[in-house]
Amino acid sequence: MTQPYGNLPLTFEQNLGQTAAVVQFLSHGSGYSFFFTPTELVIELRRTTGGTRTKQVETVDSLVVKTRFLGANPHAAIRGHHRLPGVSNYLIGNDAKSWRTGIANYAQVEYDSIYPGIDLVYYGNQRQLEYDFTVAPGSDPRAIRFAMSGADAITIDASGNLIMKAAGSELTHHAPIAYQTIGGTKRSVAARYRLGTGNQIGFEVGEYDHGRPLVIDPVFSYSTYIGGSGDDVPYWSDIDAQGNLYIAGATASVDFPVDPPMDILQRNLKGGLDAFVTKLNPTGSAIVYSTYLGGKANDRALGISVAGNGSAYVVGLTRSSDFPTTNKAIQPKFAGGGRDGFVTALDPSGSKLVYSTYLGGSGDDQAWIGPTHSDGTIWVIGLTSSTDFPVTSGAFQTASAGGFDCFVTKIDPLGTQIIFSSYVGGGGDDNCIDGTVDAQGHALLTGSTSSTNFPTTAGAFQRAYGGGATDAVVVKVALDGSSLVYSTYLGGSGDEDVSDGRFDDSGNAYVPGVTSSLDFPTTPGALQSRFAGGPEDGYLTVLNPTGSGLLYSTYFGGSGDDAMGGVRPDACGNVYFVGVTNSTDLPTSKDALQSSYGGGKSDAFVGHLELRGSHLLYSSYFGGSGDDGADGQGVNLDGFGNLYVVGSTTSTDLFVTPNAFQRVEAGGQDGFAFKLSFPPCR
């Protein structure tokens, strides 16, 4: 299973109150929203400067194009056809009465008798919106007329394509194809656009059998506007025991554009982003559900963890004062500052809140990750500038040390009580962006710091700041949060950052990231003991259970810019890893899926490393001609040797499998998900 995916790309859902009442059906995904009203198709296309989990954007260029059907039946019945297995859930705002759940997804939207004897059907064709006018016997195709607004100019080119020029881009309605089905065979009928005054458009068709139905089939391509910068961003992922893949991130809201059509709008994304969770089936061929969370301002899901019963625990940041919370929430109200963290537990259907709460103080707060334990507790890891962040008595650090500090908060299974909560930080800026929980219930925090007085423990591997702008930090927290089992810097004289952090079954901590240090600590016999060049190399470090020494540490990179992303240790003492690179000389294995660099500004990579012998069991690029990366957004390993990876891509030629939910990039910045099968660990 390999797929680029846009959130519900070109699938259609009935409007049951999730957007303006005039809209009957809608479709939305990475960089686009389509709104179907009784007499208009309203298209909003969006492009941003891109965004990642750690580098988020707040503005978007938005183009609104309207197609109005002239003389059409305003009472035409509009229906969804070809029901898909997935549903959509909108938990937007703090009034449960306004939430909409279980909304069916369809592959087509049909207007019955939009003109006398003429039906209109819309359906998705990957990066294109395709629509068919079906003209019944005896009806007149010349009745079809529509006007377009929102473009600088509309012309018909030499190939018969209808070209809309707007905002420096060209949107194309491809030359129409017309046909009749006679005796089970499609027979072509000549057809072309007719452009009249006032941008009125119709069709001229050649000779055909008026006693049989006629189909006129244009195609609208919009990805030239979105380019490499749509607005769906997958930030994190997890899998359940059945192999379903859960993806969390941020997506544009489904607000109906009220601005008049114009070339381009520079919009602030205030209120324009909602958090989302999408569940894909084990084969990647269908969406099970997509759930949207948010309020009136921007909301982002930054981390997700799936419990054994299928409940999804989502954490992130919200700027909304009306983010959905539940009765008896730990913190039902926004605490102030520019943003608060949030913690939300979704039931297995994705349609109900088990619990939901803000988590923050009067400063800026956000939750990066929320690993769960088998006892139902969740450990929330993030950063805060609040001096009044909720902490518990007896915690390791009850006061902010200055700047941004890390925090770790343990919440009970019902989501109504904080078991313990503590700051972890020094006088500079500290940012713990990832972590996990071991079988006993110890939390691992990984991140970066500019603090020269970050709290470290006696006997730790590196107690002094190494230099540069930031060092990595690795922290293991005691069960009751009253102390640190260990805390250590990890870095050389340059800059270090962290992208993940995982325990193995023996309690060893696996820490990947990126470094510019020529003297980053490595171990004898490492796969790559020296910096390979370029601005930065990736690294992978394994700390022993006490944090007092390195079991293994290596650079990983080529002559370009490289970053190690997510890691997953297996039961044999080996480790799977993913990342992002623009090096053309990255080491690959003989059985690599892709042995050479694909192009663009970056490729993802995936590998399997045997630590004992420093041997690459597998290493491959994964990328097309655009920009691709798997820089910690999500990597998961099941018990059968299947590796699940989530990342982002702008490539239109990424390798995909035949049954993938989306086989062609939907335009803009898409997410991708792929599953690689390796021999089970023995």
Region 160-179: mean pLDDT is: 86
Yes or no: say if 399 and 426 are a contact pair by the CB < 8 Å rule.
no
The band of 398, judged by pLDDT with boundaries at 50, 70 and 90, is: very high
The band of 268, judged by pLDDT with boundaries at 50, 70 and 90, is: very low
Residue 526 dihedral angles phi and psi, to the nearest 5°: -60, 155
Burial label for 682, CB within 10 Å (0-12, 13-18, 19+), is exposed
Region 253-268: mean pLDDT is: 50
CA angle 383, 387, 389 (to 5 degrees): 60
Lowest mean pLDDT among 249-253, 535-539, 605-609: 249-253
pLDDT at 607: 93
Lowest mean pLDDT among 7-21, 62-76, 199-213, 495-509: 7-21
Q: Which of 151, 149, 116 is nearest to 133 (CA)?
A: 116
Region 195-222: mean pLDDT is: 90
Residues 6+ apart with CB under 8 A from 596: 584, 588, 621
Chain centroid to CA 341: how far? 18
What is the tens place of the pLDDT at every residue in 563-581?
A: 999 999 998 889 999 999 9
- pLDDT, greater one: 631 or 29: 29
Q: Which residues pair with 36 in a beta bridge?
A: 25, 41
Structure tokens at 328: 């008896």
pLDDT at 262: 36
pLDDT at 47: 66
What is the tens place of the pLDDT at every residue in 183-195?
A: 999 999 999 999 9
Cβ-based neighbour number of residue 212 at 10 Å: 13
Q: Could you tell me the residue ranges of all domains in the chain?
A: 12-218
Cβ-based neighbour number of residue 618 at 10 Å: 20
Strands (E), 480-548: 484-490, 496-498, 502-503, 509-515, 537-543
What is the tens place of the pLDDT at every residue in 638-649?
A: 888 888 887 777
Region 497-524: mean pLDDT is: 96
The band of 43, judged by pLDDT with boundaries at 50, 70 and 90, is: confident
The band of 61, judged by pLDDT with boundaries at 50, 70 and 90, is: low
Percent of the chain scored above 90 by pLDDT?
A: 69
Give the H or E element holding residue 445: strand 443-449
The band of 7, judged by pLDDT with boundaries at 50, 70 and 90, is: very low
Yes or no: say if 189 and 180 are a contact pair by the CB < 8 Å rule.
yes
Would you say residue 14 has pLDDT above 90? yes
Interstrand relation of 77-92 and 287-294 (parallel, antiparallel or unpaired)? parallel
Would you say residue 230 has pLDDT above 80? no
Structure tokens at 623: 């990328």
Lowest mean pLDDT among 34-48, 306-320, 324-338: 34-48
The band of 124, judged by pLDDT with boundaries at 50, 70 and 90, is: confident
Structure tokens at 130: 């395709």
What is the tens place of the pLDDT at every residue in 335-344?
A: 999 999 999 9
116: DSSP letter:
T
Taking all residues of the chain, what is their mean pLDDT, rounded to a whole number?
88
Cβ-based neighbour number of residue 593 at 10 Å: 15
Contacts of the segment 179-184: beta carbons below 8 A, 24+ positions apart: 179/214, 179/215, 179/217, 180/208, 180/209, 180/212, 180/213, 180/214, 180/215, 181/212, 181/213, 181/215, 182/209, 182/212
Would you say residue 437 has pLDDT above 60? yes
Amino acid at position 514, single letter = V
Q: How far is CA 494 from CA 79, 274, 301, 410, 558, in A?
A: 60, 37, 31, 34, 18
Region 285-295: mean pLDDT is: 91
Yes or no: say if 559 and 536 are a contact pair by the CB < 8 Å rule.
no
CA angle 222, 223, 226 (to 5 degrees): 105
Going across the sheet that includes 340-346, the strands are 299-306, 312-318, 340-346, 353-359
pLDDT at 258: 55
Lowest mean pLDDT among 225-234, 271-280, 360-369, 405-414: 225-234
Interstrand relation of 628-629 and 642-649 (parallel, antiparallel or unpaired)? antiparallel
Find which of 279-288, 547-556, 584-593 is predicted with most confidence, using mean pLDDT. Answer: 547-556
Amino acid at position 512, single letter = P
Amino acid at position 158, single letter = A
Would you say residue 64 has pLDDT above 90? no
The band of 652, judged by pLDDT with boundaries at 50, 70 and 90, is: low
- pLDDT, greater one: 150 or 18: 18
- pLDDT, greater one: 184 or 165: 184
Q: Which of 630, 624, 622 is nearest to 650 (CA)?
A: 624
pLDDT at 177: 94
Cβ-based neighbour number of residue 489 at 10 Å: 21
Query: Could you give the 3-state DSSP secondary structure of residue 224?
Result: helix
Would you say residue 21 has pLDDT above 80? yes
Residue indicated by tokens 């810019």: 561
pLDDT at 254: 77
Q: Which of 355, 326, 331 is nearest to 341 (CA)?
A: 331
Cα–Cα distance between 76 and 73 in angstroms, integer?
A: 5
Structure tokens at 630: 């798997």
pLDDT at 286: 82
Chain centroid to CA 428: how far? 30
Residues 6+ apart with CB under 8 A from 460: 486, 487, 488, 489, 547, 548
Lowest mean pLDDT among 196-200, 205-209, 386-390, 653-657: 653-657
Amino acid at position 516, single letter = S
The band of 494, judged by pLDDT with boundaries at 50, 70 and 90, is: very high
Structure tokens at 229: 């910068």
pLDDT at 577: 95
Lowest mean pLDDT among 30-44, 420-434, 536-550: 30-44
- pLDDT, greater one: 377 or 635: 377
Q: Which of 226, 280, 296, 271 is nearest to 248 (CA)?
A: 280
